[in-house]
Amino acid sequence: MSRISVRGFAVASATAVTAVGSVVGVASGSTAQTNDAEATAADTTLLADIPAGQQAQVQVASLTQQADAQAIAADTSAKKDAEEAARKAAAETAIAKKAAAEKAAKAAKEAKERAEAKATAASRGGTDVRDSSSFPVQGSYSVAQIQAMARQMVAAGQYQCFSNIVDHESSWNYRAVNPSSGAYGLFQALPGSKMSSAGADWQTNPATQIKWGLNYMNERYGSPCEAWTFWQANHWY
């Protein structure tokens, strides 16, 4: 805006206020009457510098400039808000992607560990050929039935060693109890409740006991045959 337009707008405003003040002063008999009149005259002279037809244009230009400034400020604020919202959304997306990636990595790790454990057990000849839960539950089991279960759960190359241990520990009596120690079952687990890790029916289901005994031999000794070697040297395992 030019000097004339700014000055004109300021002068127009000041003149209006001064003129009103002068009229009030005259009406009230104020002692400042003379000074106010002089100020009005001075302002009127300054306002006269701008043609009457241009005074409205000056005011409109000033208001337009104010509106433009407000629009720019509003646009800047809107852009700032949009940028902040975009940053927040990006952060939330990054967090969600990270959580999904961690979950996928954990699942992959667990799958890998299971595969490695299975491969290790297979190399030792001790992996379950048939799962214990696949056998029908009965009220009682004969020795022949229990041995048949074991043959289907223990790898062929490890079965004889496995059988030797069970022969010495319980003679294949899945309800065998040691009267002095309280050791229980095919493998004389002490306490017998340790076998609950293989199933809640550890007291009455020989398949559950076989699963627990096979896992115990593999984890503690590496395989049933290594467990049998230890048993022969120590008469316990």
Look at residue 3 in the predicted model and tell me its pLDDT. 43
Number of C-beta neighbours around residue 165 at 10 A: 22
Distance CA 112, CA 122 (A): 15
Containing H/E element for 62?
helix 52-124
Taking 3-state DSSP, the helix, strand and coil percentages for the chain, each rounded to the nearest 5, stand at 75, 0, 25
Indicate whether 55 pLDDT > 90: no
Distance CA 40, CA 24 (A): 13
Alpha-carbon distance values, 208 to 16, 82, 121, 136, 150 (Å): 104, 63, 18, 12, 10
Look at residue 11 in the predicted model and tell me its pLDDT. 43
Sorted by sequence, the CB contacts under 8 Å of residue 11 that are 6+ apart come out as: 43, 46, 47, 49, 50
Extents of the domains making up the chain = 3-79, 132-234
Q: Which residue has the higher pLDDT, 9 or 144?
A: 144
Look at residue 64 in the predicted model and tell me its pLDDT. 86
The most confident of the ranges 60-64, 86-90, 154-158 is 154-158
Containing H/E element for 7?
helix 3-28
Phi and psi at residue 202, to the nearest 5°: -60, -25
Look at residue 25 in the predicted model and tell me its pLDDT. 43
Largest CA distance in the chain: 133
Distance CA 105, CA 124 (A): 28
Indicate whether 8 pLDDT > 90: no
Per the listing, tokens 């005074």 go with 55
Distance CA 9, CA 106 (A): 73
How confident is the prediction for the chain on average, in pLDDT? 79
**CB contact at 8 A, 210 and 198:** no
**Over the stretch 161-206, which tens digit does the pLDDT of each residue have?**
999 999 999 999 999 999 999 999 999 999 999 999 999 999 999 9
Task: Give me the mean pLDDT over the 125-136 stretch.
Answer: 70
Distance CA 151, CA 163 (A): 9
Which CATH number is 132-234 given? 1.10.530
**Over the stretch 96-130, which tens digit does the pLDDT of each residue have?**
888 888 888 877 876 665 555 555 555 554 444 67
Indicate whether 1 pLDDT > 50: no
Look at residue 42 in the predicted model and tell me its pLDDT. 47
The most confident of the ranges 41-45, 68-72, 164-168 is 164-168
pTM of the model: 0.48
